[in-house]
Every structure is written in C-alpha cells, then in structure tokens.
Amino acid sequence: MNAVPKTGEAHALPTEERRGVYRAIHERRDVRSQFLPDQIPDQILARLLDAAHHAPSVGFMQPWNFIVIRDRGVRGAVRDAFLQERVRAAALYDEPRRSQFLALKLEGILDAPLNLCVACDPTRDGPHVLGRSAVPETDVYSTCCAVQNFWLAARAEGIGVGWVSILQSVELKRILEIPAPVIAVAYLCVGYVSDFSDTPDLERAGWRTRVSLADLVFEDRWGRQEARVRTAFAGMGGAP
Ligand SMILES: Cc1cc2nc3c(=O)[nH]c(=O)nc-3n(C[C@H](O)[C@H](O)[C@H](O)COP(=O)(O)O)c2cc1C
C-alpha cells in the first residue's frame, strides 16, 4: 500500500528544494558594492528574465517590459540623474542623519556590468483589466512581483541585484526613451559579486535594523495581538 501523505504535504517540494527556496529568500541581498566586472551569459540572463516573466499578474496582464542596459553612456546618464536626486534627497534630512545618508553607497550603476529597467505598461490589456477595477495600482504591484522573482532567481544563480530608486522617474524615462503611459517601476544593477553580506547594508551601516516579526502579525483586526501569537512568531525562521 502507498504511504498516505500527511494532510497538506502532498504537494510540498522535497525537503532539499524547499530549503533552496528559503535559502534564496533569506540570503538575497540588495547589492551595491561587491560587483565583479564579469558579463552574465545570455542564457543565464534569459533564465532570470523568464523567472520574472512567470510572476503573478493582475488579470494575467503581464504588464512588464525589461530594458537590458549595457551601454556605458546610458548608464552614465542614469548615474548623473542619481547624483542629482541624491543631493535633493539628502536635503530632506537633518544632521547627523544627512551626513550618514551621504556616506552610504546606494547604487552600483557603473560597477555592475548590466543594468535592467523593469517597466509597467498599464495599457497592455486595454482599459478594463480583470481584477484592476478597484485598485488601479495592481499593474504596478504585478511588476514588483516580477522584480522579486528576478531578484530571487539571481540570488540562486550567484548574481547580485541592487534596486536604485533615488532617481526622478521623468529623468529616467527621458534617458531610456520610455513612452508616456509606461511606468519605470524599477532600475536594477545586476552582476556577479565577490560576496553576499549576511545582513542588509543599511543594517550594517547602523541606519535601521530588522523589525521583529512578532510585532507585525495581527489577528482578525488591525492591532490585535494575543500573547500566544507573539510567542508563536517570536522564534520563527530557520530551515524547514
Ligand atoms: C522599492 C525599493 C527601492 C530601493 N531603493 C534603493 C536605493 O535607491 N538604493 C539602495 O541602496 N537600496 C535600495 N533598495 C534596497 C533596500 O535598501 C534594501 O532592500 C533593504 O535595505 C534591505 O536589505 P536587503 O535587500 O539586502 O535585505 C530598495 C529596495 C526596494 C524594495
């Protein structure tokens, strides 16, 4: 007689594969400093983009486009736009936070051999997209899911990704010749790395630490937390 799987486990991945998924999630980092100049082979880049293309999307609209950027002139123009916005962003902080912000390395636009802009075309499936009627931003949410798939698949391949959002959209769209209705959702620096840090760069720099999961989980209503729930989530984590 065949062994009957425990409830809910029938479709679980084998333990090693499950571990791999969680490992990629936990060991994914936003990379800015450790890029190596080695080119990413087209076949591997295709795999990463295909992972992105298999993200969930509202109404299955697949609103994304991917602009693969290697040209140094284009990357230089984006870096200039970053430097301008960095000055503007720094002015939003008071000292000593401002100096701390300016000391952070927040992009690897010219260090990484490849940059990727992930764009969202809200017109992709006509004006009425299944599931988008109440929340128009769901097309952008879908595009963020594609970014995350790309990021995790890249980690699994030993490739680092860094998201640069310190950029004015208008500037980025002008440089990349992105047409008016299309949204430039993410600008990513992509490349092999010398190492992946154990902790986020911002944590190591003393900017911010990870919030406890137990503080974030509510039950049934916003803000409701029973001691039992806090205890259950306080020690969460680890391998399956
Ligand atoms: C939408 C978004 C925008 C981000 N923009 C920047 C950025 O402009 N520069 C930067 O250095 N990191 C940026 N990051 C990376 C975060 O700082 C990073 O994810 C966070 O500090 C946690 O670190 P980890 O990704 O290594 O876990 C961005 C991340 C996201 C999701």
Residue 116 is encoded by which pair of tokens?
């990727």
Asked whether 118 and 188 are in contact (CB, 8 A), the reply is yes
How many C-beta atoms surround the C-beta of residue 177 within 10 A? 8
Atom 31 of ligand 1 has which residue's CA nearest to it?
163
Q: What are phi and psi of 6, to 5 degrees?
A: -65, 150
Q: How far is the CA of 200 from the centre of ligand 1 (A)?
A: 9
Choosing from 25, 163, 209 the residue with most ligand 1 atoms within 8 A of its CB, the one to mutate for a pocket test is 163
User: Which portions of the chain are predicted below pLDDT 50?
Assistant: 1-2
Asked whether 48 and 150 are in contact (CB, 8 A), the reply is yes
Q: Residue 5's pLDDT is what?
A: 59
